[in-house]
Amino acid sequence: GDSVTQKEGLVTLTEGLPVMLNCTYQTIYSNAFLFWYVHYLNESPRLLLKSSTDNKRTEHQGFHATLHKSSSSFHLQKSSAQLSDSALYYCALSDRPNTGYQNFYFGKGTSLTVIP
Amino acid sequence: DTTVKQNPRYKLARVGKPVNLICSQTMNHDTMYWYQKKPNQAPKLLLFYYDKILNREADTFEKFQSSRPNNSFCSLYIGSAGLEYSAMYLCASSPGQANTGQLYFGEGSKLTVL
């Protein structure tokens, strides 16, 4: 079945250093969508990025990710971490086209802590 | 308004007692989901409604019930809570466009079973 793997459970970074959170996935569907959701403490998880296009970089709020279907990866990156980036980050996959509804599969999440 | 609201935000329940969690959205989304989130685990899909059709995951089929009396409202019902039900329960909705829609989450309902 479909699955999403986020290797790092906890990442601690010093402010100003680059961020890279790993995400790999498995799916039988060639046109699946990949998402990054961010969950700040005491808030709702919200969408950060999404993509279904191979080898195309997508950006939002300083973060970027490129879907690589050849390696089934969708790593989240940012050039310079900020204290406000501290949050829980989920990588997710949706599949089942043309059924009218979507199934979403989540990774375990990576908790990012940025320190001064 | 793109908010999904959940009530209660915090729930304390005794083992063996029922629990009812409520979710609402005003975006006219046709799909509403319930996820269970435990520490260091991926959010686990429990069930979802696509319009009026309830889909429940096989491994949680008997543990959770749900109702959707109208498009905006969806509940999650536990008939007899056990300690293993302690978790954060996240409700989400989606406009249901195949493979393009995103999930809109509520803030969650944290259930503690004692």
> Which pLDDT tens digit goes with each residue over A50-94?
998 999 999 999 999 999 999 999 999 999 999 999 999 999 998
User: Taking CA atoms, what residue in B is nearest to A101?
Assistant: B96
For residues B112 and B8, what is the distance between their CA atoms, to the nearest angstrom?
12
Q: Which residues of chain B have pLDDT under 70?
A: 1-2, 96-100
For A17-38, how does the pLDDT look when each residue is reduced to its tens digit (9 = 90+)? 999 999 999 998 877 899 999 9
pLDDT for B1: 58
Residues 17-46 of A with CB under 8 A from B: 31-33, 35, 37, 42-46
Closest-CA distance, A25 to chain B, in angstroms, reads: 13
pLDDT for B102: 84
pLDDT for B40: 87
Closest-CA distance, A113 to chain B, in angstroms, reads: 15
Q: In this complex, do A103 and B45 lie within 8 Å of one another by their Cβ atoms?
A: yes
Q: CB A69: neighbour CB atoms within 10 A?
A: 17
pLDDT for A100: 64
Residue A10 in this model has a pLDDT that exceeds 90? yes
Can you read off the two tokens belonging to residue B103? 């999930």
Residue A97 in this model has a pLDDT that exceeds 60? no
Q: What are phi and psi of A49, to 5 degrees?
A: -150, 155
Closest-CA distance, B43 to chain A, in angstroms, reads: 6
Contact B81, B17 (CB under 8 A): yes
Residue A4 in this model has a pLDDT that exceeds 80? yes
For residues A27 and A10, what is the distance between their CA atoms, to the nearest angstrom?
25
Give the list of residues 6+ apart from residue B15 with CB closer than 8 angstroms, or none: B81, B82, B83, B113, B114
Beta bridge partners of B12: B112
Does any CB of chain B come closer than 8 Å to the CB of residue A66? no
Q: CB B54: neighbour CB atoms within 10 A?
A: 14
Q: Residues A31, A35, A38, CA angle at the centre, nearest 5°? A: 175
User: Taking CA atoms, what residue in A is nearest to B110?
Assistant: A42
